[in-house]
Each structure stands twice: as structure tokens, then as C-alpha cells.
Amino acid sequence: MFESILENILRSKPIVHCITNFVTVNDCANIILAGGGSPTMAHHRDEVEEITEKSQSLVLNLGNVHEVDSMILAGKKSNALEHPVVIDPVGIGVSKLRNETFKKLSQSIHFSVIRGNISEIKGIANEKGITKGKSMTKGVDANETDKVTQDNLEEVVAMAKRLSEAMDSVIAISGAIDIVAGKEKAYVIRNGHPIMAKVTGTGCMSTALIGAFCGGNPNNILEATSAAVAAMGVSGDIAFEKMERFEGGTMMFRMFLIDSISNMTSEIINGGMSIEEM
């Protein structure tokens, strides 16, 4: 599985244009490079259209709420060029500004992929009338009460599929159990380690990597996104093991996480991943 996905990235070395937040921008650039892409983190409104034109995909991150105009310019251009557009709705629900910014972006741009934690995705689903409930997000982390477990898995997958249909986007939900859903088909991936939540930006990095994988596979967004999510999960497993071997902590884990992406092969993914179609 995923052989051709990885080959396409290594062969085409897609340029990934990211308009992302300043907290995790360096990690995002490095994970794109590790995954075989070439990152360009330009966000000045006077150049984003030109940059996008020379790129193969676009990654938007709601953490950079200052740059909504640049995001819209780049997003519209990407849509016109039929480049994949991946959005990370970081912190949706924590402020009116973020909710309104997301709304504005989604009215102007078609997203190929939306990747967030379960609280962020539920926030969007509530907004679209797919689920009923009040967004409970307090910070940038998922709420305990929202978390995906074996018990609510079927229900969450069904929600993700409906949201995928409503938004015409692949929906990727990160957590202890990862879900990547199209309208009719979803992948459930059980890899990675809880320590990922103790490193800032593992979500942003996942989104950036999805941008690289989709940039190299623009006609196969569901599989490309699943492969990126699986690569992150398997790398998380490898990184945790190495971290323990060298008696490190969260920063050593981050190093080995990106290192493992840089050493990733389809053999390693296939050997390590636990994936299920639903």
C-alpha cells in the first residue's frame, strides 16, 4: 500500500506553499523537506499568488489569523490552478476571530483536505449543522470529553463522512485514533503515541506533510492524506522507541519524529502501520 504515493513525491519533489503560524513554521518546513517536498513559507500579500503559481500545493493554518487576505488570494489562485489546498483550523472555537476567519476562508476557497483534532473538526461540523452541540474548545488541544474512543468510533467516522460530503473535502482527524474520511470511505489508523501531544506543532506538521503528499498526488487526495497520517503515526512509534533507548524526553522525541519521516519508505510504513477501512 502507498508505494506509488511515496514514489510520486520523491519523483516530483512538490513545492509546498505554506501560509502558517510562526510558532511551528520551522518544524513544518523541515517535515516537508523530510517527506520529499520543497517548502516555501511566503505570506506577503504582494507575492503569494506568484508563489502559489510555482507551487504544487497550498497549506493554510488558522494559527496565522493575521494573514487572512494572503490566504484568500493564494487559496483562490490554487483553486483556479486545481492545486490541492489543505487547511488546519488551529484553535477554531477559541475565539470569534478564528471562527469568523474560518468561515470567510471556507466561503472563498475550496479545501481539498481539512485536518484538525476532534474538537476542531466537531466545531466545524456543528457550524455546518451536521452535529448538534456546543464547541467546547478552550485552547489549542482537544477536549477530553470529545476524544475518539473505540466506543464512539463509528459515530465519529459517520460524522466525518457527512462533513466530507458537506465540505467536499477529505476530513483528517488526529488523535489517539486517527481518522481520514472521504464521503464514502474512511481509513482508521491506530499508530502514534500520546507523547505527540506533548510536542507543540505535531498537528501543524501533520498538515504540512499532508500538503507535500497531496502536492505529489493531486489526483488521489484520500490515499495521499491517509499515507501522510500513517507516516506520522508510524514515525511516532519509531521515535518513541528511540527516545526511550537514549533516555530522552519530548524534544528528542520531536527530533526522531521528523528524522523518521526523513528515513521513511513504503516498507517501513507497511510494516508498522495499523490501518483499517471503515
Binding site residue list for substrate: 41, 201
Helix (H) or strand (E) holding 40: strand 38-40
Using rule CB under 8 A, residue 207 touches a copy of itself: no
List, in sequence order, every beta strand (DSSP E) within 44-169: 57-61, 85-88, 113-117
Sheet with 170-174: list strands edge to edge: 38-40, 15-19, 57-61, 85-88, 113-117, 170-174, 178-181, 186-189, 275-277
Which of 81, 95, 274, 276 contacts a copy of itself by CB under 8 A? Answer: 95
Q: Does 267 bind a copy of itself (CB under 8 A)?
A: no
| 105 touches 75 (CB < 8 A) | yes
Residue (197 or 278) nearer to a copy of itself, CB: 197
When the beta carbons of 182 and 192 are compared against a copy of itself, the nearer one is 192
Q: Which of residues 225-254 bind a copy of itself (CB under 8 A)?
A: 242, 246-252, 254
**Grid-cell match 499568488, residue found:** 49
CB of 115 to a copy of itself, least distance (A): 19
Looking at residue 57, the DSSP 8-state letter turns out to be E
Work out the angle at residue 96's Cα, subtended by the Cα atoms of residues 91 and 102, and round it to the nearest 5 degrees. Answer: 60
- Taking CB under 8 A as the rule, does residue 268 contact a copy of itself? no
Residue with Cβ nearer a copy of itself (106 or 137)? 137
Binding-site residues for ATP, in ranges, read: 115, 174
The x, y and z cell numbers of residue 154, run together, are 463509528
- Asked if 92 and 82 touch (Cβ cutoff 8 Å), the reply is no
Q: Which is nearer to a copy of itself, 153 or 266 (CB)?
A: 266
CB of 71 to a copy of itself, least distance (A): 14
Q: Any contact of residue 134 with a copy of itself (CB under 8 A)?
A: no
Size of the site for a copy of itself (CB under 8 A): 58
Asked whether position 278 contacts a copy of itself by CB under 8 A, the answer is no
